[in-house]
Amino acid sequence: MRMTVPTPLGDIAVRCLAPGPGARIASGSAPALLLLHANPGDGRDYDAVLPALADRYRTFVVDWPGYGGSTAPEPARVTPEGLVGVAERVIDALAEEHGVRELAVLGNSVGGYVACRLAEGTRAASLTSLVLIDPAGFTRHTALTRWFCREVMGRPARARRLVVPLARAYLGRLGTPSARETYARVRELPHHERRLAVHCALWRGLADPGFGLADPAALGLPILLLWGSRDPVVPAFLDGRRARRALPAGTSSVRLPTAHEPYNERPGLFLRHVLPFLANPRAVTARGVRPPSRPRSR
């Protein structure tokens, strides 16, 4: 089943999966799980782990504007902060159309950044936990990183030549059908002007002065942080270390022998960490966390 959520950045496609008759829990009592993907990509990037997740939870998979089944009439307007607004609209639609009042959010890369921003904002009360997979938002801003985001990956003429080799690096061994299918979709990106424009706009947004988290240490909910030790985009020894220091003391942090998308590269290993956390987040996290700070206005 699919639903479409109108937003200022486009009509957003959301795949809706409910536990089936043979599921491990009854669909009526299943908690909800929202999946947010990386840039570039779409919700199909999670296909290797979706069966196990949907067997236990009402699972909702978002395609960001311009990707998958979602539209983006004005690609240049799609920014990381804009994705936060998109996710808020989706959460509101899930409450109205599916009766979802509480949900966990699982996000990779820019999707992980959006998950953190949701936990800082006005929808924080509806979130039960976060699973952050190599999230954006913890890179130290320098003249070099801003130049790379704006002038290299943020410019279609340059990004067109780099997006495929970069994906080949961050997808790791391509040892699963899901990883190979994700890579095949990325290989088509240079030939789709609108999607390439969205990809570049999101990269440029990473260098915007307003990009960043208000106070990660004040996020007031259980967090599982997963980081690929071979991630070439946001390296574990730099960004991963900064994230572990910045997030609440109770965050459960795991380093995996993968690149940027462990759910694609090592789905079984990924699920061995994620499923116990989702089943009982507060039992997995080590200590209590501080209450959330006041929602940040943008």
For residue range 89-104, what is the model confidence (pLDDT) as tens digits?
Answer: 999 999 999 999 999 9
For residue range 147-176, what is the model confidence (pLDDT) as tens digits?
Answer: 999 999 999 999 999 999 999 999 999 999
What's residue 295's pLDDT? 45
Tokens 């299943």, residue? 30
Which stretches within the chain are classed as H helix?
50-54, 80-98, 110-120, 143-147, 156-170, 177-188, 193-205, 241-246, 262-265, 267-279, 281-284
For residue range 101-150, what is the model confidence (pLDDT) as tens digits?
Answer: 999 999 999 999 999 999 999 999 999 999 999 999 999 999 999 999 99
Distance CA 118, CA 124 (A): 6
Mean pLDDT in the chain? Answer: 92
Q: What is the pTM of this model?
A: 0.93
- Maximum Cα–Cα distance for the chain, whole Å? 54
Distance CA 38, CA 46 (A): 10
Of 106, 107, 15, 97, give the one whose Cα is nearest residue 63: 15
Of 41, 81, 87, give the one whose Cα is nearest residue 60: 87
Tokens of 209: 């002065």
